[in-house]
Structures are given as structure tokens and as C-alpha cells.
Structure 1
């Protein structure tokens, strides 16, 4: 399977355009966390699984979710894992895929966002964290294991950041607006506000976890 879509509990204000306008046209099956299932059902999408403690869904919404989604897993609010962790792990177990598009992972509460950002350090995600792709209205986040990579400039995004979430060895950013050569550190750094000078950027590193964030500013109202 090429792609699986996951909708977490982030606010609707952070949804990218394709999720706001026509989620039924997004390719691949869906898995929903908690109240995200209500949004999907109301927009013509029936998720394959619904997962969470459903503390943000009222009894009517929970009944609607159960009526539409056969695979319904409810957990107690007092649990070790977040709804996001449970949902992503369940989606990966049931639907092995090349990529997991995850919506609703970056907005809302900062503690939830940080928990999602640091999933690569949970051993249960070690096998597939580099297949996770977070997408919001103004940001995309892709995780990388050590190696050599070429990334492409995503349409509409102005900036690109290279963030090592902890120690990194010999990080090279080769052909961006701002380059970096053989950088090694024992702590996390966000190399923010870089830019593409051509359609692609090459980078590589020997150890650590690096995320690439492509972003744009929010429209001023």
C-alpha cells in the first residue's frame, strides 16, 4: 500500500486545503483519532478504524462514530499513550504502507505537538518513523534516518528548516541558500529559515534523527 491517511485531534484551523475542501478525494484509506472521525464522516469519508479515549466527543458523536465505523477501539482517559500514539501505531500495524500522511499533529496544544515530534525516540516507532509525514495548513514535517537525501521544494512553501532532535554527527546541508558542513553536536538545534535556491536540496548526516520542515507564514487577516 502506498499511502495511509491519519487524522489526529489538532484544530480545524490547522487543516491544509485538501482536507478542508475535499477529503474524500485524498487517496488512500483513513484512520481517525477521537473526534477527527466525526469530521471525516461528515465529509463523506468512512475511516477504517476509530481510536482514542473519545473524551473530546459527546455521546451523540460517539454513537455516530460507532454506527459508521466497525473497527472502534475506545481506551480509558487514564492511559500511558496519547491518542496520537495509539492511532499511528494501530494504523501501521493494520495497514503497512510506504507513507503515512498525518493531519492534526502540529496545532493546538504544544505538549501534544512535542509528543508527536519526538515519536522517533519511542522504540515502537523506530521501524517506520521515516515514513511519517505531518501536514498542516502552513507546515510539513518529514523525519529522516542517517543517510544521503535529496528533497524537493513543495509548492507554496517559502522556508525550509533542518532540525536535529538530539545529537547529530556530520550534518551537511549542501546546496540550500545557507549551507552547513560536517556539523556535529550533542544537543538539538533548529536550523530555521533556510530557503531553496533551486528545485531540490541535498543533505546528509551520519547519526541522529533529522526532521525537515517546509513552511510558509500564515496569511494576515
Structure 2
């Protein structure tokens, strides 16, 4: 379905702030403990999926009742994280915009793996962001315009070994045809000074992390 915006609520760091990202008309997917969070806040899900090893049997029954589609998998006999299952499901539904909430938490390995999932959506031509109260993360390999959205700091980190031709406009610290390589901190903690900032890339994959303290 063209123009479908899927919101995936995973089991990482969540709070009342997460509800502000959920809007009418979006396709709502609850993943594992994220599905339980949505039920507790009175949300009907289009789909709920995962191994549900983070919730009780009673909670699973309630999740089933509050989702139009329910899919459970074995927590041992699976190769994908729950968030990746949710992401692949969203892509199968035809989503061309995806927001991942609860993709960042206390488990750094899971948080980093979820950031790496942005590569999948980039290759599919899908706009995807990971958001929480303090961060908004996306991946680009061409040109991207960003707005403040309440996240005043902007950091640029290469996901590929090298990103060339990085040019910034509308930032406190501009760059012109710069090269960013893994292991460099040059792109950390810039500030957007215009309403819209533009980021241009010749080659490579660049993480754009907007954050606030």
C-alpha cells in the first residue's frame, strides 16, 4: 500500500513519550514487550509478533485480543531478533515509511543491531528512523534534509568504512566535500542553525544521529 507508515514498537526503552509518535492512520506493530506496552496504553495493534519471552502467558492472551494479527515464534529456534522480524513484516506489508520505537535500550548489542537494520531499509528505498526520548537515528547514502524536531545536536558517523563527499549546509560547523572514516570523531555534535539542514554524500553510508541531553 503506497504511502503506508508503519510504526514498530519494540521492547527497549519505552515511556509515555512514545505515545506521541503514534498517530491515527499508521500501521501499528507491537514486538514482544513492546506489544504489552501498547496494550497497557489502550492501543489496538494491526499486528503483534515475536517470541514473547519477555511477557507472561496472561499478557500474551491480552496481546492476542488486542491485535488484528498475531504471530509467535520459538525463542530458541529463530535466527532473527524480534525487531528484525517486525521490520521485515512491515516491509512485506508495503510500508515506505517506518518508525522504530523502543529500538534503543539497556542492551547495547540489541541497540547496535537495530541501528544496523537501517541498512536493510536504505537498500529497499524505505524511509526509516529509530526514535526515543533522546535520539532520532537514520541512515543516508545520498542527500538528506533534516529539521530540528527538538533534537538540537546532530552527529554524523559512517556505517560504511568510509563516506566521501560529505557537504553540510545550515549547520554551525559546515563541511565541504569531506571524508569521514570509521574511527574519526570529526562528525560528532554539530548544531543545526537553519530551519532545514542539508547533508550531501557522494559515496558511502552515513548515520545521522539527532540527539538532546
Corresponding position of 1:181: 176
In 2, Cα distance between equivalents of 1:104 and 1:205: 29
Does the C-alpha gap of structure 1 residues 101 and 24 become closer, same or farther in structure 2, counting only changes over 3 Å?
closer
166-175 or 103-112, which moves further after superposition? 166-175
In 2, Cα distance between equivalents of 1:106 and 1:18: 12
- TM-score, structure 2 normalization: 0.87
Is 1:165 aligned to residue 121 of structure 2?
no
Corresponding position of 1:201: 197
Q: How does 1:8-87 map to 2 (within 5 A)?
A: 8-12=10-14, 15=15, 17=17, 19=19, 25=23, 27-78=25-76, 79-87=78-86
In 1, Cα distance between equivalents of 2:147 and 2:30: 29
Give unmatched runs, 5+ long, in structure 2.
none
- 1:196-217 per-residue CA deviation (whole Å, 9 max, x = no partner) reads 1221212211111112111110
In 1, Cα distance between equivalents of 2:169 and 2:211: 20
Deviation at residue 150 of structure 1 after TM alignment: 2.4
- 1:176-198 per-residue CA deviation (whole Å, 9 max, x = no partner) reads 11122222355364511100122
In 2, Cα distance between equivalents of 1:80 and 1:71: 21
Deviation at residue 125 of structure 1 after TM alignment: 6.2
In 2, Cα distance between equivalents of 1:68 and 1:169: 47
Corresponding position of 1:90: 89
Give unmatched runs, 5+ long, in structure 1.
none
Q: Is the 8 A contact 1:168 1:207 kept in 2?
A: yes
- TM-score, structure 1 normalization: 0.84
Does the C-alpha gap of structure 1 residues 118 and 29 become closer, same or farther in structure 2, counting only changes over 3 Å?
same
Does the C-alpha gap of structure 1 residues 141 and 77 become closer, same or farther in structure 2, counting only changes over 3 Å?
same
CA RMSD in angstroms comes to 2.2
Q: Is the 8 A contact 2:13 2:104 kept in 1?
A: no
Q: Is the 8 A contact 1:2 1:98 kept in 2?
A: yes
Equivalenced residue count is: 208
